[in-house]
C-alpha cells in the first residue's frame, strides 16, 4: 500500500529563511525513496483557511513513508521550517 505525504505552506513570515530551507530540502529528500508528485505551487482551497502552497509526495510502502516522516520530524530542517 502506498503512503502519501502532504506539506502545506500556510504563510511566509521570513522570506530569507524560507529560501534557505527550500535550498536544503532536496538534500534531505534525496535520502528517501519518495516520488515528488507536486512541488510547492498554488493550491485552491474552496473551504476553510487558505495556504500559499502545497507539495505532495508518494512512497511505495507505508513503512517508507513513516520512516521519512519520523526523520523529518526530528531533523533540524523541520525546526527551521516550522
The CATH number given to whatever domain includes residue 55 is: 3.30.70.100
Q: What is the pLDDT of residues 67-76, one digit of tens each?
A: 877 887 777 7
Give the pLDDT confidence score for residue 78 in this predicted structure. Answer: 65
Instruction: Give dist(CA 39, CA 48) in Å, integer.
Output: 22
For the stretch 27-54, pLDDT in tens is: 777 777 888 888 877 778 888 888 888 8
Domains held by the chain: number = 1
Domain hosting 21: range is 3-81
Instruction: Record the pTM.
Output: 0.66
Place of cell 534531505: 28
> Exposure of 13 by Cβ count < 10 A (0-12 exposed, 13-18 middle, 19+ buried)?
exposed
The candidate with the shortest Cα–Cα distance to 9, out of 55, 68, 73, is: 55
Amino acid at each position: 500500500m502506498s503512503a502519501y505525504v502532504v506539506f502545506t505552506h500556510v504563510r511566509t513570515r521570513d522570506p530569507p529563511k524560507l529560501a534557505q530551507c527550500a535550498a536544503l530540502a532536496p538534500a534531505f529528500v534525496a535520502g528517501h525513496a519518495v516520488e515528488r508528485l507536486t512541488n510547492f505551487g498554488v493550491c485552491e482551497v474552496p473551504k476553510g483557511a487558505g495556504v500559499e502552497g502545497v507539495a505532495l509526495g508518494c512512497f511505495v510502502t507505508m513503512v517508507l513513508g513513516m520512516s521519512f516522516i519520523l526523520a523529518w520530524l526530528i531533523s533540524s530542517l523541520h525546526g527551521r521550517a516550522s
